[in-house]
Amino acid sequence: MNTSLKTIVAFAVCFSMLTMASAQRIATLEVAPQQQNQSLDIPVSIQLDKITYLPDSVISLVEVKNNKRIPVAYQIENKGQRTLYWMMKQDNGAATKRIFELEKGTPLKISDHIKTVTKDGALIITANNKNLLQYNFKTMYPPKGVDTAFRRSGFIHPLWTPHGQSLTRINAPDHYHHYGLWNPWTHVMFEGEMIDFWNLKDKKGTVKFANFVSVSEGAVYADYQTLHEHIAFKKNGEKKVAINELQSVRIYQPKADQDYYIADITIQMNCAGDSPVTLKEYRYGGLGWRATEKWQDSNSETLTSEGKTRKDADGTKARWVIVQGSLDSDYGGAVMMSYPSNYNYPEPLRIWPEKINGKGDVYANFSPTKDKDWPLLKGQDYILKYRFLVFNGKFNKEKAEAAWKGFANAPQVSVKPINK
């Protein structure tokens, strides 16, 4: 063997040894088989500090499948404790155990992250060069000539489908106080007065953006946390914050050719001061969705987890509701899902009846206080969790149920450390 060939061989051996060392296995992660339809990608997470204290920059994740080691993109959330998230691609309906491994090595480089952009008083989440969701933190005023009491900040509009159509509407002439996806309460007892944060024209209260708590983006998700103040307009002229709301919104990165994506909305509320608050029983209140003006009776449909349609869904309880319809020459919508730990779960629905406004405009709302009061006490946190699966095409009850199970029963991950 000549000197040059010996040098090449020696280099190859050294490189192989270095590669093996740099990919030192840390733990095996077994994801239990899911019993629902496997055609949807779903987020998976583990508590990282229970496995390793290695810094984020020297950890990689792979899936072990058919004797291959497939690199997997992940993202680490650092909020008190490190949580590692990744998207688990589903296997054509097969309910089988999945094997992943954490390694000491270089993380997979992803150039096309899901991103956040701030522009003109709004934060926009984008993926694959498409806008998905816009959160408006700057105060927006109603159309010229309409009472400025209808102004509002801290709401989502537009919520776009993967193909770019808006599913939300604001300032509809029949309800100027409707703001896309927004979260006020209607009948609220506070310091001996009935406050209304919903019907802005009554000038009894409002909800406004106060500040961002965090904004993040990466290979798996983009999210923001924002503080909303629910402000009571008291009879003596005083304006007083009754409820502080921490609203967290996270969108998981869809693949470029994927016709759906997941948006999680978490609402955490507590009393802003010493005074308790009671969210009184009323037919609507909480996270409401005023749907696109393109939808009417004739070109849209509603279906709940209990088989109810728009004809009979209002006032019934459900785990999820599909709202979908024609979008010009396309079709799409969203599955709105409620989490099992939510107050008064399964939550009552407020679904507008057919022929409302003479056209059948579409409105949907999980309303936990539709049939009972909800007392909020000083020093306590109250949490509501929702997931929107936003899509183009048509969804049926089987796919909606599978999506809800992926939300309500997150995949269970068993961790097996690898001892070297």
CATH assignment of the domain containing 181: 2.70.98
**C-alpha distances in angstroms, 103 versus 9, 15, 52, 418?**
27, 18, 10, 10
132 and 125 in contact (C-beta within 8 Å)? yes
Print the domain residue range for 363: 115-407
pLDDT digits (tens, 9 = 90+) for 95-126: 678 999 999 988 888 877 899 999 999 999 99
Residue 247 has pLDDT above 80, yes or no: yes
Section 265-284 average pLDDT? 98
- pTM to 2 decimal places: 0.92
Answer yes or no: do 290 and 186 share one domain. Answer: yes
pLDDT tens-digit series, residues 348-371? 999 999 999 889 999 999 999 999
Residue written as token pair 């923001």: 224
What is the strand order of the sheet 413-417 is part of?
A: 68-72, 59-65, 98-104, 24-31, 413-417
- pLDDT tens for 65-77 read 999 999 999 999 9
Rounded to whole angstroms, the Cα distance separating 49 from 124 reads 31
Same domain, 170 and 89: no
- Indicate the range of 179-188, 230-239, 282-291, 409-418 predicted with least confidence: 409-418
Distances from the Cα of 264 to the Cαs of 223, 256, 267, 338, 385, in angstroms?
Answer: 9, 20, 10, 10, 7
pLDDT computed for residue 94 by the predictor? 60
Does residue 7 lie in a domain region?
no
Q: Same domain for 350 and 391?
A: yes
Burial of 381 (0-12, 13-18, 19+ CB in 10 A): exposed
Same domain, 87 and 136: no
Same domain, 121 and 101: no
Looking at the structure of the chain, the number of domains it has is 2
Would 15 be classed as within a structural domain? no
Helix (H) / strand (E) element for 370: namely none
Among 401, 219, 193, 406, smallest CA distance to 280 is for: 193
Alpha-carbon span 326 to 310, nearest angstrom: 16
Going 182 to 261 to 265 to 333, the CA torsion angle's sign is positive
Handedness of CA 36, 41, 46, 51 (dihedral sign): positive
> For all residues of the chain together, what is the average pLDDT?
92
Same domain membership, residue 154 and residue 270: yes
Residue 302 lies in a domain: yes
Same domain as 198, residue 57: no
Q: Does residue 152 fall inside a structural domain?
A: yes
Task: State yes or no: pLDDT of 19 exceeds 60.
Answer: no
Beta strand segments in 255-412, E: 260-271, 277-279, 288-290, 300-304, 317-318, 320-327, 330-338, 347-351, 363-366, 374-376, 382-392
Q: Could you say which of 83, 109, 135 is where a domain stops?
A: 109
**Domain termination residue (choose one: 89, 109, 129):** 109
Last residue of a domain, one of 82, 109, 136: 109
Residue pair 215/249 in contact by the 8 Å Cβ criterion: no
Residues 6+ apart with CB under 8 A from 325: 294, 295, 299, 300, 301, 331, 332, 333, 362
